[in-house]
Chain A
């Protein structure tokens, strides 16, 4: 083979574990390890990487959730535990991402209910979980303590830390051995800074997932795509503060104009295609957890990922 491609990589992506099985102190039936990549996505299979993982997003208060999801999933959305169970056994997700949207209502104070919801979901599904807490600084402390505690031992992924608000989530991660999603506004330098801040407060490198924030397809997606590529590139070139796996969650996908204003007969298909295209392109840029809200997106992504992770392909071919 005469032609040799050398990208000049000198480092690898950190490996992060999500979910703990019984032998590791948890009750999940699977535990995933993502990261570990040594080159650009899909250029070389990493046998021990479980990614990309498909996470199905649910919430405990659908006020701002797209009606498309409610129409498709029907009544099960009214109970978090049931919905999580459906995501696990029917929709076929790899992980469930629970948004505690109830905490985002004004003057929310029912912290105990947070614990109950988390426990319910933990009992109704044995897949690894991502838990999104409050986004109100005044209740962060209690909410994340509750989430962290309720999921103790399960190696949850907690969301979301930002530059001005990361102490409570970091505390929960450190107290109960969970990992943290660190989000920055599509800026590689800010992503790096946040990781450094988390490192300084004591969060271990292999407990961080980078969220560069994903704009929807047609609404800023390319900025996120390039941010992901740049993060991956920097990580492989040796920047240890950017060497964490990346998560993609284009939460506005189902509310963009193209989807909202589509003819009813086409709406579901467009919603699914919007999520699918975004998620697949993000995976090509380096995202290892792809979050979706429409159940039909899951099998499509899964099929694509299978075709992307066959045996090691020699560049020269047969």
Chain B
């Protein structure tokens, strides 16, 4: 069944013979090849995507965003950028958001300089790398230092693919192939796989943001409809050479880029980009959940209101946002409805008086406040009586729309 869903590879099945595998393989392999970059803790995989729109199912592998350095920069500069990617992390909704690696560009043209830059990066951190060079000799020199760490090689073209493939094959590295004509790119991919390099990425050489969207969308559509299996590879985007890097990153994230290169980003762009990536690559059918618990808004004291709601992250943030703007210090009692919204949790029976009672005990709410009044969401009103009976607390039914919580607290909460 997993095979039918394209979720696994026919090669894993020990019972099939080669002929069966060949037949099944063609139709069951993921339409976009899974390619792994780097090794170890920070390695990541891209590809294995099935849909054009995230709402059809989901996007599975978030794009890696890597910072570019030129081998002409000072070693200190190189170390600074590498350290930043190694250490920087933003936490949002329980996930650590980070950048994914370093791209080193052979700006100098010199194999020695290139190798030295790569070596410096390697000594500073264990991160996935992208080696960007035109000269196979430079690549070869660099690969001496990092060949075993599965760096991504950029990029093979119709002119140089034989040498680049040889290098990629020798070191077992994934390879970017570059071109702005998707027919020719398909042919190039075929040529590379014939040599034995299977792990490819496609650089669409977009001359504008529009060119990127057009080509990337078409390739995704061709791949998932299996109309052009030779284009079933993840997309590579060098945002740093686009006219508007920030725009390119955002559009790359939305429109199927799997490896995005940029110059080190400002704090503002960094946060926005990582948040967009997290949003777009969230599984629509698996709502992000907050950890259940007792959360504080401001500095609530013993007589502060206690507002109960579900652990669906959107509900949490929406309510929290409105509560913060009321400037009324209060507690949010977040119960575990497995990420379901209020309405859904009530309908499914997941939000029950027993759950509320258990949560009050588990999070020691009775130690935090001297009163016994619980405010519940408007849509949970059918439970009000049962919650009162189960917990012994008095229940106040709040508004259905969190936007009205301010008015509600002003009018109803008198302590």
Residue from the list A5, A64, A276, A308 in contact with B208, Cβ < 8 A: A308
Interface hits, A30-67 → B, CB 8 Å: 40-43, 45, 64
CB distance from B254 to the nearest CB of A (A): 5
- Once A218-B279, A222-B280, A222-B282 are accepted as A-B contacts, the answer to whether A273 and B271 lie under 8 Å apart by CB is yes
Mark A189-229 against chain B: 1 for CB-CB distance below 8 A, else 0: 00000000000000000000000000101111111011001
Answer yes or no: A274 CB below 8 A from chain B CBs.
Answer: yes
In the complex, the answer to whether A40 meets B217 with C-beta atoms within 8 Å is yes
Q: Is the CB of A217 within 8 A of B284?
A: no
Q: Is A307 engaged at the interface, CB distance under 8 Å to the other chain?
A: yes
Contact (Cβ within 8 A) B273 A315: no
Kindly state whether residue B81 has any CB partner on chain A within 8 Å: no
Instruction: Answer yes or no: A69 CB below 8 A from chain B CBs.
Output: no
Q: Decide: A277 and B272 in contact? CB cutoff 8 A.
A: yes
When the two chains form their complex, are residues B251 and A280 in contact, meaning their CB atoms are under 8 A apart?
yes
Instruction: Report A130 CB to chain B, min CB distance, Å.
Output: 21
| CB-defined contacts of B355 to chain A, threshold 8 Å | none
A270 touches B181 (CB 8 A): no
A264 within 8 A of B: no
Q: Nearest chain-B residue to A232 (Cβ)? A: B53
Query: Are B269 and A273 closer than 8 Å at their CB atoms?
Result: yes
Q: Which one of A252, A300, A315 contacts B182 once the chains associate, using CB atoms below 8 Å?
A: A315
Q: A217 near B272 (CB under 8 angstroms)?
A: yes
Give the interface segment out of B155-163, B239-247, B357-365, B372-380. B239-247
Task: Say yes or no for B348: interface residue by CB 8 A criterion.
Answer: no
Q: Do most interface residues of chain B lie in helix, strand or loop, or is the interface mixed?
A: helix
> How far apart are B359's CB and chain A's nearest CB, in angstroms?
24
Chain A residues within 8 Å of B267, by CB: 266, 269-270
0/1 interface trace, chain A 284-318, chain B, CB 8 Å (1 if under): 11000000000000001001100111100101111
**Which B residues between 304 and 336 are near A, CB-CB below 8 angstroms?**
314, 317-318, 321, 325
CB-defined contacts of A41 to chain B, threshold 8 Å = 213
A222-B284 in contact (CB<8A):
yes
Interface centre among B250, B268, B282, B314 (most CB of A within 10 A): B268
Question: In the assembly, what is the distance between CA of A289 and CA of B253, in Å?
Answer: 21
Instruction: Out of B217, B250, B269, B314, name the residue touching A220 (CB < 8 Å).
Output: B314
Indicate if A233 sits at the interface (CB-CB under 8 A): yes
The reply to whether A217 and B279 form a contact with Cβ atoms under 8 Å apart is yes
Q: Return B304 CB to nearest CB of chain A, in Å.
A: 20
Q: Is B211 an interface residue (CB 8 A)?
A: yes
**Which of B17-25, B114-122, B221-229 forms part of the interface with chain A?**
B221-229
Distance in angstroms between the alpha carbons of A80 and B262 in the assembled complex: 41
- Name B181's contact: one of A225, A256, A276, A316 (CB within 8 Å): A316
For the complex, is B148 an interface residue (Cβ under 8 Å from A)?
no
Q: Do A219 and B272 have beta carbons less than 8 Å apart?
A: no
Once the chains bind, are A221 and B268 in contact (CB under 8 Å)?
Answer: no
The answer to whether A284 touches B254 (Cβ under 8 A) is: yes
B278: chain A residues at CB < 8 Å are 218
Chain B, Cβ-Cβ closest to A270:
B268
Q: How far is the CA of A82 from the CA of B269 in the complex (A)?
A: 31
Chain A residues with CB below 8 A from B34, complex form: none
Contact (Cβ within 8 A) B182 A42: no
For B54, list chain A residues within 8 Å (CB): 222, 225-226, 229
Chain B CB within 8 A of A281 CB: yes
B268 touches A269 (CB 8 A): yes
* B221 / chain A contacts, CB cutoff of 8 Å: 5, 7
Q: Which residues of B contact A266 (CB under 8 A)?
A: 267-268
What is the chain B residue whose CB lies nearest that of A220? B314
Contact at A281–B180, with CB atoms within 8 Å? no
Residues 85-105 of A, flagged 1 when their CB comes within 8 A of B and 0 if not, give 000000000000000000000
Size of B's binding interface in residues, CB under 8 A: 55
| B354 contacts partner chain A, Cβ-Cβ < 8 Å | no
Partner of A229, one of B53, B214, B246: B53
A308 CA to B211 CA, complexed, in Å: 8
**Given A226-B54, A230-B55, is A42 in contact with B183 using a C-beta cutoff of 8 Å?**
no
A2 / chain B contacts, CB cutoff of 8 Å:
183
Contacts of A226 in B (CB 8 A): 53-55, 284
- CB of B186 within 8 Å of the partner chain: yes
Pairwise interchain contact B218-A221, C-beta atoms closer than 8 A: no
- Find chain A residues with CB under 8 A from B205 CB: 317
Q: Are A317 and B210 in contact (CB under 8 A)?
A: no
Q: Which of B53, B93, B213, B276 contacts A308 (CB 8 A)?
A: B213
Contacts of A243 in B (CB 8 A): none
B33 at the interface (CB under 8 A from A): no
Contacting pair A219 B214 (CB below 8 A)? no
Let me know if B123 is at the binding interface, CB within 8 A.
no
* Nearest A residue to B214, CB-CB: A313
Chain B residues whose C-beta falls within 8 Å of the C-beta of A308 in the assembled complex: 208-210, 213
**A192, chain B: closest CB distance, angstroms:** 16
A255 adjacent to B214 (CB under 8 Å): no
| A1 contacts partner chain B, Cβ-Cβ < 8 Å | yes
Chain B positions within 8 Å of A313 at CB level: 208, 210-211, 214-215
Residues of B within 8 A of A272 (CB): 268
The answer to whether B218 and A42 have CB atoms under 8 Å apart is no
A5 touches B222 (CB 8 A): yes
A229 to B183, CA, bound (A): 28
- Flag whether B150 is at the interface (Cβ < 8 A): no
Instruction: Name, among B181, B210, B254, B318, the residue most crowded by chain A CB atoms within 10 Å (CB to CB).
Output: B210
Q: How far is the CB of A141 from chain B (nearest CB, A)?
A: 22
List of A residues within 8 angstroms of B255 by Cβ: 284
Residues of B near A40 (CB, < 8 A) are 217
Bound: A222/B180 CA distance, A:
30
Q: Give A273 to B318 CA distance when docked, in angstroms.
A: 21
- For chain B, residues 245 to 287, give those with C-beta under 8 angstroms from any C-beta of chain A: 246-247, 250-251, 253-255, 266-269, 271-273, 275-276, 278-280, 282, 284
CB distance from A314 to the nearest CB of B (A): 8
Residue B7 at the A interface, CB < 8 A? no
User: Could you list 11 examples of A-B contacts with CB < 8 Å?
Assistant: A3-B186, A5-B222, A217-B272, A218-B278, A273-B272, A300-B246, A308-B210, A310-B211, A313-B208, A315-B214, A317-B205
Closest 9 CB pairs of A and B: A269-B268, A317-B180, A304-B247, A317-B181, A222-B279, A273-B268, A273-B272, A226-B55, A307-B209
Q: Besides the contacts A42-B209, A222-B280, what 11 more A-B pairs have beta carbons closer than 8 Å?
A: A42-B214, A220-B318, A226-B53, A226-B54, A233-B53, A252-B321, A270-B267, A277-B275, A281-B280, A303-B244, A317-B179
